[in-house]
Amino acid sequence: MTVRQTSIWILASAALVLSSCATTARITAANDVHALLISIRDDDHAAFDAHVDRDALEHELEARILERTQDPKLNDATHALGALLARPLAQLAGEALIRPKVFRAVAEYYGYRPETPIPGQFAIAGALRALPDGRVCAAKAHKGPCLLTFAKEDGTWKLVSFDGDMAQLKLPG
């Protein structure tokens, strides 16, 4: 075997191993995503809390508040208030928004209505996309932007990021 053939073989083997790891991550994550979907459908707070990283989601809310209040077009007072209030506002918003009933609207966006059977692990795995950093995400379309991102924490895949439109998170009326 030539050096070139050996290099090609090594690269092909590495690609196969990496794609296998990505598939394994999607399959193992799918089980926890399935449990999260059931907790949302059943309004099961304990199961929901076991599958979300509240701190990560609150930090994301804080970052979004800061991003909006630090716009260069806004005045210094708005910048200062945004910096001062971003964390407490994110915590308040987190208490109100990080609940199963609120995420029901997001699940419905994906086509999971209360009367719709939740697909099994392999169907969910097929809808997840492995990310280079080891996390997985769900998108509405196969090549669309990630809307929900999950990371493995202490053996459980948890929701760590909501990248969709914040208007989708609605308090139940």
Q: Any bridge partners for residue 156, and if so which?
A: 153
Angle at 61 between CA 142 and CA 170, to 5 degrees: 70
For residues 129 and 77, give the distance between their C-alpha atoms in angstroms, rounded to a whole number. Answer: 41
Distant-in-sequence, close-in-space partners of 108: CB < 8 Å, separation ≥ 6: none
User: CA Rg, the chain, in Å?
Assistant: 20
Predicted local distance difference test score (pLDDT) of residue 11: 39
Q: pLDDT tens, 64-109? A: 999 999 999 989 998 899 899 999 999 998 999 999 999 988 888 7
Confidence (pLDDT) at 151: 96
pLDDT at 50 over 50: yes
- In this predicted structure, the answer to whether residue 12 has a pLDDT above a threshold of 50 is no
- 8 pLDDT band (50/70/90 cuts)? very low
* Comparison of pLDDT for 116 and 84, the residue scoring more: 84
Please give the distance of CA 90 from its chain centroid, rounded to a whole number: 17
Q: Give the Cα separation of 107 and 11 in Å (integer).
A: 39
Confidence (pLDDT) at 79: 87
How many C-beta atoms lie closer than 10 Å to residue 40's C-beta? 25
pLDDT of residue 170: 76
Which residue did the predictor score with more confidence, 169 or 159?
A: 159
